[in-house]
Amino acid sequence: MSFFLTSLSSSRILSINLARQNNYIKYIPFQSLLVKRVGILAGGSGSRMGGVEKGLIELNGIPVIRIIVNNLDDYEIVTVCRDEEQKCLYSPYSEVIVDHYRGMCPLAGIHAALMYFQDAVLIAGVDMPLIKKRVADMLLHEFRGKEEIADALIPVWEDGRTEPLLACYSYQAIHKIEDSLRRGEKRIMNALDRNRIILYPVESLRQVDNELISFVNLNTPDDLKKVEKICSSIDLEEKLRT
């Protein structure tokens, strides 16, 4: 498997051209990833869900946060919360910390996770209950060894939409993120050096997540109905671990 980082003159964002076999990147076992770290961002207010804690919504009787933690059980996990009150709600499920910059999430959540681990980290939203372990592994695997030349590896859809809340970030980007937070800049893509972002094709993840359910969000009541329908016919832990 070979990678070529190419500067796009129009957007000046690094993209990644992937050598493919049968239109997909060859899947590689991830036992070699000795230390895998994930920061779960729980800080949002959930206003479009009526103010409920999205990570505590139950699917098949299991809180979303527990589903994510259980399925990433070989990761070092920290959940990033907006305040001490929210921290108490999530403390039964994983290690928890609070944003250093209040009211600036999710960028502040990424900053807090990077400060906590002081290393490259996979970031996941707490409202993404169907993240498959092999998707998380694949993203982190593709980012390994590139932290010195890239601030982030962010999945991108064919229409150009990005997924910065299921993505990898380098500790090297911490000062740029801090500068942006101090200026009041909340947008993730604006906080990073656009010459140092690897855009990773979402379609390449179909080999480990054919339906791409890892990117399903719980933003609205309609989203919840969609996820509940998916969950009604599967064993969550078995489905997401394979």
Report DSSP letters for 146-162, one per residue.
-TTT-SEEEEE-TTS-B
Compute φ and ψ for 166, nearest 5 degrees: -140, 75
Token pair recorded at residue 86: 């929210």
| Residues in a beta bridge with 41 | 80, 125
Q: Tell how strand 62-63 and strand 14-18 pair up.
A: unpaired
For 108, the enclosing helix (H) or strand (E) is helix 107-117
Report whether 90 contacts 55 (CB < 8 A).
Answer: yes
Token pair recorded at residue 179: 């500068």
Compute φ and ψ for 173, nearest 5 degrees: -90, 0
The domain locations on the chain are: 3-13+34-241
- Superfamily the domain 3-13+34-241 falls into: Spore Coat Polysaccharide Biosynthesis Protein SpsA; Chain A (3.90.550.10)
Token pair recorded at residue 219: 């933003």
Report whether 228 contacts 220 (CB < 8 A).
Answer: no
Maximum C-alpha span of the chain: 50
**Which residue stretches of 118-186 are H helix?**
133-143, 174-183
Token pair recorded at residue 36: 């895998």
For 68, the enclosing helix (H) or strand (E) is helix 64-71
Q: Which residue in the block uniquely carries the two structure tokens 């076999």?
A: 21
pTM recorded for the entire structure: 0.83
Report whether 79 contacts 96 (CB < 8 A).
Answer: yes
Distance CA 118, CA 29 (A): 25
- Could you list the pLDDT tens digit for every one of the 242 residues in the chain? 333 343 333 333 444 433 333 343 444 444 445 689 999 999 776 666 667 899 999 999 999 999 999 999 999 999 999 999 999 999 999 999 999 898 777 999 999 999 999 999 999 999 999 999 999 999 999 999 898 899 999 999 999 999 999 999 999 999 999 999 999 988 999 999 888 999 999 999 999 999 999 999 998 889 999 999 888 876 665 556 65
Compute φ and ψ for 161, nearest 5 degrees: -65, 140
| Other Cβ atoms closer than 10 A to 197 | 26
pLDDT tens per residue across span 216-242: 999 888 999 999 988 887 666 555 665
Distance CA 73, CA 183 (A): 36
Q: Which residue in the block uniquely carries the two structure tokens 């590139």?
A: 146
